[in-house]
Amino acid sequence: MDVSQYAELFQAEAEEYMQVLNQCLLNLEKNPKDTEELQEAFRVAHSLKGMAGTMGYQHVCNIAHGLENFMEDFKTLEREPGPEVIDLIFEAVDVLQEALEQPDKSTEGDRQKWEQLLIKMKKVRDKVCNNEDLGSPCKHDNAGFGEDELLLGAMDKEILRQAEEGGNSPYIVNISLNEDALMKSVRVHMIFKAMEEFAEIVISDPSRQELEEERFERSFRVVLVLEAGTPEGLKEALEHITDVERVEINLWGTGENDGAASAGPLSEAESEAVKAEDDTGKDKVSEEGTGVYKEQPEKENQEVKNTTPENEVSEKAPSGDQGQGSRAADKMVRVETQKLDDLVNLVGEMVVARTRITEIGHGFNEDLDSTIDQLKRSITNLQDTAMELRMVPIDQVFGRFPRMVRDLCREKGKKVQLYISGEETELDRSIINRLSDPLVHLLRNAFDHGVESPEVRKDKGKNPEGSIYLNARHEGNQVVITVEDDGSGIDPQKIGSMAVEKGVITEDEMNQLSKDDLISLIFFSGFSTSDEITDVSGRGVGMDAVRNSIEALHGTVEVSSEINVMTRFEIRLPLTLAIITTLLVKSNGQLYAIPVEVINENVYLDSKEIKTIRGNPVVNLRGEVIPLYTLSSLLGFEHTQVNDEECSVVIVEATNRKAGFIVDELVGQQEIMIKSLGSFLKGLKGIAGATVLGDGSVTLIIDVAGLLSEGRDYVEQNSFSG
């Protein structure tokens, strides 16, 4: 079987698994008693091993296997993994991550690195095993593979122990259903019902719930304690159920007294044998029939070695691991992002055509009208669906941060807890991809400049452990992301003096600016609020870079802060970049589209209401003085004076600044598809792009944030320097 076609799927899924793994370890670090986290991490490593094995990525497979065994030892011994252990697991995860970058190429150096880590892991494991467990050997020092992988809880173990004391034998039952079995969950129900007549069921793999939700392929395993009848009788009863293809019943071995010491998880032999591990059970069925009720580890190991990779791939199909993969595959389809983009583009064209056809066809013929109405509804639905396809949970970005903060804590000797909420919030994929850098920057800033060192915090009477809150939520047509820390806050006076020092503002201006405005000055280049510069942030890439990236996404970022209480950054982003709702306006005879997100309101002003301050037109709108600009002159066009008694003004707000655009006419609201201006006209300040309107004409889309910063220069030129 050629597996190379699955390489991409493997990568994508492995990436997800790695994130889960990291998350589990972080949780485990916080709460080492949480066996569920360890179990989940173990399961993920196990799945990765299976996937890598199928792909033939031997190095990845070995690492995942070593990791799995290492974790399993702690799980089985019910030993709390201490910091030393968790650090080692993290280290192994990093090695695994590295290996995943080029899974088909591993160098001698890679392997040596892994082997050295294995030796370290072995040492730590031996320490835990020998010193603390009164000589009881680690499971992997003498147990084989197979049934012992079932994840038993304390309760399950208790049942098994009692059963053995009471003279009842525990068995492990492997069941496979026919390939084309329908309503598998009902078969499972029948199988469990039949088993319950003979035995008490201890545990199943996958869990009974998963089985009843049909989240398995064909095979599953059940550990039970036989209370009535014989294993042969049970086997016969199960085989009588329709769609049951194969039943295998074995005594549940504890593995401890089976002798036949293989050298443990860290031996080469076993690492090599990993590939075939999952299939040993199945091999036995076909090769030895069903008469064997006691496993022979020695024999098993031999079989393992004999299993060729070809067998492995074909035999793998019915195993549990594969089942997991296809479980997700049942509900999900992975699609190349380019195809999605193409689809959204096409839908965008249709949206434009919809507008056009409505204009042309209206009133022409009643039948045509109703057909167009129907078409419009379908296109609207299609548009919504296409947009949803591009939506991905923001967790894809957030998921990396807990690990980042943990590592920073270790490195910098700070104690910071990261609280994440709203990670399920969905956002356009293209936005998510470009959100990572600014968020990393904000978080690092919060960590470095925000949260104080534990000593300083103690002196201030704060909890020595700092907190950073990362939240995402939907608000109307926007996604709001906040990054908040409970650190030292931003001192507006300090920022103000710095801005004066750097020549960003004059001392006069500083005295006039409000506290919030002063704090917002950090978005100008060249600011660093911490006195010392560390390698975390303060590398010269300032908050202006953050603001620029957010604004490039048609978003806004605002900051608020209380000294010694908190600093909060609030990012607002549109749900999607491809299609936006705009207000069409006419200025100097030309049509422009202004994104409605930045529009506060539209007002008609009597020319008498327009006042001037230092020669610049302003309006006093409900007590707030707002500067006015004629849109076309802001854009650099010759401005033909409009002497109307009344003029239309669009009040916009971006980057914390308000302004009024005087326009000739408000044309109407319209959804448009953003097209870039192409490389030739790229970077044109004040213009976000262009769009084709329903009638085929091209209109420019106004980049209000960009234009307002231009406007500032414009004002400055006219009032201060001019």
Partner 1 sequence: MLSKTVLVVDDTAFMRMTLKNMLEKNGYEVVAEGEDGVKGVELYKELKPSLVTMDITMPNKDGITAIKEIKEHDPDALIIVVSAMGQKSLVIEALNAGAKDFVVKPFQPDRIAEALAKLEG
**Shortest Å distance, C-beta 215 to partner 1:** 14
Q: Which range in 177-185, 320-328, 343-351, 403-411 contacts partner 1 by CB under 8 A?
A: 177-185
Among 180, 336, 508, 535, binds partner 1 (CB under 8 A): 180
Question: Which residue's CB is nearer to partner 1, number 217 or number 428?
Answer: 217
Single-letter residue type at 656: N
Q: Which range in 182-190, 404-412, 509-517, 573-581 contacts partner 1 by CB under 8 A?
A: 182-190
Q: Which range in 184-192, 200-208, 250-258, 490-498 contacts partner 1 by CB under 8 A?
A: 184-192
**Nearest alpha-carbon partner for 340 in 380, 377, 379, 388:** 388
Query: Applying CB under 8 A, does 183 fall inside the site for partner 1?
Result: yes
Check if 46 is active-site: yes
Question: Which residue's CB is nearer to partner 1, number 239 or number 315?
Answer: 239
Q: Which range in 4-12, 55-63, 179-187, 499-507 contacts partner 1 by CB under 8 A?
A: 179-187
Contact yes or no for 267/122 (Cβ under 8 A): no
Single-letter residue type at 348: G
**Shortest Å distance, C-beta 330 to partner 1:** 15
Pairing of strands 579-587, 599-606: unpaired
Between CA 604 and CA 234 the distance in angstroms is: 85
Contacts of 423 (CB under 8 A, 6+ apart): 393, 394, 395, 398, 399, 472
Check if 710 is active-site: no
Report cis status (omega within 30 of 0) of the bond before 464.
no
Question: Which residue's CB is nearer to partner 1, number 176 or number 425?
Answer: 176
Backbone φ and ψ of 554, nearest 5°: 60, 30
Name residues contacting partner 1, limited to 229-248 (CB under 8 A).
Answer: 240-242
Query: Applying CB under 8 A, does 179 fall inside the site for partner 1?
Result: no
Contact yes or no for 707/608 (Cβ under 8 A): no
Between CA 45 and CA 217 the distance in angstroms is: 20
**Shortest Å distance, C-beta 247 to partner 1:** 13
Q: Which range in 115-123, 189-197, 673-681, 688-696 contacts partner 1 by CB under 8 A?
A: 189-197
Query: Applying CB under 8 A, does 189 fall inside the site for partner 1?
Result: yes
Query: Applying CB under 8 A, does 190 fall inside the site for partner 1?
Result: yes
**Shortest Å distance, C-beta 257 to partner 1:** 39
Question: Residue 59: how many CA atoms within 13 Å on its side-chain side?
Answer: 22
**Shortest Å distance, C-beta 178 to partner 1:** 9
Question: Which residue's CB is nearer to partner 1, number 216 or number 523?
Answer: 216
Between CA 435 and CA 398 the distance in angstroms is: 10
Which neighbouring-strand residues pair with 49? Answer: none
Q: How many residues lie near partner 1 (CB under 8 A)? A: 11
Query: Applying CB under 8 A, does 185 fall inside the site for partner 1?
Result: yes
Between CA 626 and CA 617 the distance in angstroms is: 9
Q: Which range in 147-155, 183-191, 352-360, 394-402 contacts partner 1 by CB under 8 A?
A: 183-191
Question: Which residue's CB is nearer to partner 1, number 183 or number 269?
Answer: 183
Between CA 74 and CA 37 the distance in angstroms is: 12
- Where are the alpha helices (H) located in 5-126, listed in sequence order? 7-30, 35-55, 58-77, 83-101, 108-126
Among 1, 154, 182, 333, binds partner 1 (CB under 8 A): 182
Question: Which residue's CB is nearer to partner 1, number 187 or number 400?
Answer: 187
- The residue annotated as part of the active site, out of 13, 29, 37, 68, is 68
**Nearest alpha-carbon partner for 635 in 691, 697, 586:** 586
Q: How buried is 472 (Cβ within 10 angstroms: 0-12 exposed, 13-18 middle, 19+ buried)?
A: buried
Query: Applying CB under 8 A, does 77 fall inside the site for partner 1?
Result: no
Between CA 74 and CA 85 the distance in angstroms is: 9
Question: Which residue's CB is nearer to partner 1, number 211 or number 543?
Answer: 211
Cα 375 to Cα 339, 344, 455, distances in angstroms? 24, 17, 66
Cα 165 to Cα 79, 159, 225, 226, distances in angstroms? 25, 10, 12, 13
Contact yes or no for 378/406 (Cβ under 8 A): no
- Where are the alpha helices (H) located in 143-267, listed in sequence order? 154-165, 184-196, 208-212, 231-239
**Shortest Å distance, C-beta 439 to partner 1:** 43
Among 123, 157, 193, 460, binds partner 1 (CB under 8 A): 193
**Shortest Å distance, C-beta 231 to partner 1:** 19
Query: Applying CB under 8 A, does 261 fall inside the site for partner 1?
Result: no
Question: Which residue's CB is nearer to partner 1, number 20 or number 181?
Answer: 181
- The residue annotated as part of the active site, out of 22, 37, 40, 46, is 46
Backbone φ and ψ of 226, nearest 5°: -70, 125
Q: Which range in 175-183, 357-365, 567-575, 588-596 contacts partner 1 by CB under 8 A?
A: 175-183
- The residue annotated as part of the active site, out of 62, 142, 445, 471, is 445
Q: What angle do CA 682, 397, 408 make, to 5 degrees?
A: 110
Token pair 């791939």: residue: 313
**Shortest Å distance, C-beta 258 to partner 1:** 36
Order of strands across the sheet with 478-485?
Answer: 416-421, 466-475, 478-485, 566-574, 556-562
Among 186, 263, 681, 698, binds partner 1 (CB under 8 A): 186
Check if 423 is active-site: no
**Shortest Å distance, C-beta 92 to partner 1:** 42
Question: Which residue's CB is nearer to partner 1, number 243 or number 484?
Answer: 243
Active site residues: 46, 68, 445
Binding-site ranges for partner 1 (CB under 8 A)? 180, 182-183, 185-186, 189-190, 193, 240-242
